[in-house]
């Protein structure tokens, strides 16, 4: 009996211990994983993430899709809406290396990040020397600046337009539109003002001056809990372009890196100097990138909704709440030196119906901004930042080319800045992060499984032994009791024999 208790008791105790150990290991190893990842992801000159953070080796591309106007005369006469044809993409490879890196005593790091663009013919449709018909943004800008000025100044702009042979629509190479060209009207204005000591640039381009330059100094947090969250931009903790405090807040990261083990239920905030404000994405679903499961965040419709649908957006009405644009649009003239620039998602995705153009085809798959982020490290594995640049076209009675146009939002170009983690980085991630994490998650359950298996086998063995004992014990008892009539006579008891 004692032997049986030992025989079956030891496995039962061992199995129970293994189950408890496995459950305990699950919580212990999970905490260990969090601790190790947070230590590794903390930014410092000695951290493993420093070199990748300073000079990312993942290829980044900027794609330009330019809208080529087919019916300029009909638009100028106010007869029809613009009919544009999308050209491109015209693709540029980006190089980003952080410079002037300064480690601050408050746990932050400051840096500047110049960006260099090089045309990539293989990833482009056509050459950036291709010519398109588009709107004359310098003319529109000057007209916008003098709209509420004295009549004589508006007449002067009209005269300069005629003398310089400027027109509301013009043919121009894509390269000039994006990176800069000498504008005849601006040259005339400069010549007229040079005797007064006034100097204005005579060159214009949507991305003029940005090739090889940066957008200002960033100061970000380095600890894992606030990793890459922006503290200051251009030595300021808030913006000054918008009419209220909420709109001027600088929130979130730059979109390339987030704190590890982030909460997917919370919005992911990003500050973008391109559109002069902070934006956010909402978790949509898990997706697979080259065998890595990541969290996808996308820009919701509410982000650029009108101020009635989303009262928070009243802060982006310029110059005040009485001048709010329709849903899907953002007035950026304040941060674009007075140019009537309006931002939207490509093809006016999510914009109000009367803003839409019948020649465009907005769809979420191609035109929505998305960021696919690894939950464990906070590293963005795939990014597609999509933005459309539009011109606010308004009637102007004193300028001939604008005297008949309808009030509308004219699409100029949309951009797609994108990158996807490369194969070498995927292999590195899987070996250094994914595999150890999987092992740490599976080992406790293997231990629990072994413990449960030992317990199960022991219990089965006990049940089988019990059944065997009961079976053998029943047969032995029945055979030991014999009928008195079948007993043999006692020796020497002949008198008891039956005759």
Last residue of a domain, one of 393, 421, 449: 421
Does residue 487 have a pLDDT over 50? no
Residue 101: other Cβ atoms inside 10 A: 14
**Is residue 347 in a domain?**
yes
**Is residue 478 in a domain?**
no
**Is residue 101 in a domain?**
no
Regarding whether 272 and 175 lie in a shared domain, the answer is yes
Instruction: For 466-475, write each residue's pLDDT tens digit.
Output: 777 777 765 4
Regarding whether 62 and 44 lie in a shared domain, the answer is no
Q: How many helices (H) and strands (E) does the chain have?
A: 10, 19
Instruction: For 156-188, write each residue's pLDDT tens digit.
Output: 666 666 666 778 999 999 999 999 999 888 887
Regarding whether 277 and 154 lie in a shared domain, the answer is yes
Q: What is the predicted pLDDT for the residue at 200?
A: 75
89/122 Cα distance (integer angstroms) = 11
Q: What is the predicted pLDDT for the residue at 84?
A: 97
Alpha helices in 48-107 (DSSP H): 50-54, 72-76
Rounded to two decimals, what is the model's pTM?
A: 0.84
For the segment 88-103, the average pLDDT, to the nearest whole number, is 95
How many domains in the chain?
2
**Three-state secondary-structure class, residue 244:** coil
**Is residue 488 in a domain?**
no
For the segment 273-283, the average pLDDT, to the nearest whole number, is 93
Regarding whether 447 and 396 lie in a shared domain, the answer is no
Q: What is the predicted pLDDT for the residue at 124?
A: 95
Instruction: For 212-251, write each residue's pLDDT tens digit.
Output: 999 999 999 999 999 999 999 999 999 999 988 999 999 9
Instruction: For 123-161, write each residue's pLDDT tens digit.
Output: 999 899 999 999 999 888 887 776 655 565 656 666 666
Instruction: For 59-89, write each residue's pLDDT tens digit.
Output: 999 999 999 999 999 999 998 999 999 999 9
CB crowding 405-443: b at 16 or more within 10 Å, else e: beebbbbbbbbbbbbbbeeebbeebeeebbeebeebeee
Q: Scan for tokens 């047969």, then name that residue.
A: 475
**Is residue 280 in a domain?**
yes
**Three-state secondary-structure class, residue 160:** helix
Regarding whether 128 and 156 lie in a shared domain, the answer is yes
Of 37, 46, 86, nearest to 63 by C-alpha is: 86
263/283 Cα distance (integer angstroms) = 10
Higher pLDDT, 30 or 4: 30
Look up the domain containing 380 and give its range. Answer: 58-96+115-213+238-421
**Is residue 487 in a domain?**
no
Q: Do residues 84 and 66 lie in contact, with contact meaning Cβ atoms separated by under 8 Å?
A: no
**Is residue 205 in a domain?**
yes
CB crowding 69-84: b at 16 or more within 10 Å, else e: bebbeebbeeeeebbb
Report the chain's mean pLDDT, rounded to a whole number.
85
Regarding whether 292 and 147 lie in a shared domain, the answer is yes
Instruction: For 451-465, write each residue's pLDDT tens digit.
Output: 788 778 777 877 777
Regarding whether 197 and 52 lie in a shared domain, the answer is no
Question: Which residues sit opposite 388 in a β-bridge?
Answer: 344, 414
Regarding whether 72 and 1 lie in a shared domain, the answer is no
Regarding whether 195 and 184 lie in a shared domain, the answer is yes
Q: What is the predicted pLDDT for the residue at 146?
A: 62
Regarding whether 257 and 188 lie in a shared domain, the answer is yes
Residue 155: other Cβ atoms inside 10 A: 13
Peptide bond before 319: cis, by omega within 30 degrees of 0? yes
Q: Do residues 351 and 307 lie in contact, with contact meaning Cβ atoms separated by under 8 Å?
A: no
376/218 Cα distance (integer angstroms) = 25
Regarding whether 191 and 261 lie in a shared domain, the answer is yes
Regarding whether 449 and 397 lie in a shared domain, the answer is no
**Is residue 432 in a domain?**
no
Q: What is the predicted pLDDT for the residue at 92?
A: 97
């Amino acid at each position: 009996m004692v032997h049986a208790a030992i025989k079956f008791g030891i496995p039962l105790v061992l199995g129970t211990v293994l189950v408890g150990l496995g459950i305990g290991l699950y919580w212990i190893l999970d905490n260990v994983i969090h601790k190790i990842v947070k230590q590794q992801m903390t930014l410092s000159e000695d951290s493993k993430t420093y070199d990748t953070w300073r000079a990312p080796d993942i290829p980044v591309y900027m794609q330009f899709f330019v809208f080529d106007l087919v019916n300029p005369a009909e638009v100028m006469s106010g007869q029809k809406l613009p009919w544009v044809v999308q050209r491109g993409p015209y693709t540029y490879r980006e190089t980003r290396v952080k410079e002037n890196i300064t480690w601050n005593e408050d746990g932050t790091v400051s840096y500047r990040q110049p960006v260099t663009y090089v045309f990539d013919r293989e990833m482009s449709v056509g050459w950036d020397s291709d010519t398109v018909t588009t709107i004359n943004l310098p003319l529109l800008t000057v007209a916008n600046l003098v709209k509420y000025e004295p009549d004589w100044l508006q007449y002067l702009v009209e005269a300069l337009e005629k003398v310089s042979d400027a027109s509301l629509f013009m043919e121009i190479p894509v390269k000039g539109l994006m990176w800069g060209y000498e504008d005849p009207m601006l040259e005339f204005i400069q010549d007229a003002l040079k005797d007064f000591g006034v100097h204005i640039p005579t060159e214009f381009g949507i991305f003029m001056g940005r090739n090889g330059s940066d957008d200002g100094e960033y100061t970000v947090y380095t600890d894992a809990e606030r990793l890459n969250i922006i503290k200051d931009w251009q030595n300021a903790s808030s913006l000054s372009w918008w009419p209220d405090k909420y709109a001027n807040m600088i929130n979130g990261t730059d979109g390339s890196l987030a704190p590890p083990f982030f909460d997917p239920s919370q919005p992911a905030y990003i500050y973008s100097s391109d559109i002069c404000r902070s934006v956010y994405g909402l978790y949509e679903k898990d997706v697979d990138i080259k065998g890595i499961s990541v969290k996808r965040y996308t820009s919701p419709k509410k982000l650029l909704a009108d101020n009635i649908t989303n009262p928070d957006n009243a802060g982006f009405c310029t110059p005040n709440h009485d001048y709010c644009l329709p849903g899907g649009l953002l007035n950026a003239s304040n941060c674009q030196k007075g140019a009537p620039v309006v931002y939207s998602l490509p093809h006016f995705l999510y914009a109000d119906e009367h803003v839409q153009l019948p020649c465009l085809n907005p769809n979420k798959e191609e035109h929505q901004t998305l960021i696919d982020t690894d939950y464990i490290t906070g590293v963005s594995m795939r990014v597609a930042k999509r933005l459309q640049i539009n011109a606010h076209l308004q009637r102007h009675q004193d300028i001939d080319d604008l005297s008949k146009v309808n009030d509308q939002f004219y699409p100029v170009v949309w951009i797609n800045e994108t990158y996807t983690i490369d194969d070498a980085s995927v292999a590195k991630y899987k070996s250094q992060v994914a595999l150890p994490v999987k092992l740490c998650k599976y080992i406790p359950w293997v231990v629990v499984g072994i413990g449960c298996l030992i317990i199960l086998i022991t219990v089965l063995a006990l049940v089988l032994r019990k059944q065997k004992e009961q079976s053998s014990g029943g047969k032995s008892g029945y055979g030991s009791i014999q009928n008195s009539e079948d007993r043999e006579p006692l020796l020497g008891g002949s008198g008891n024999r039956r005759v």
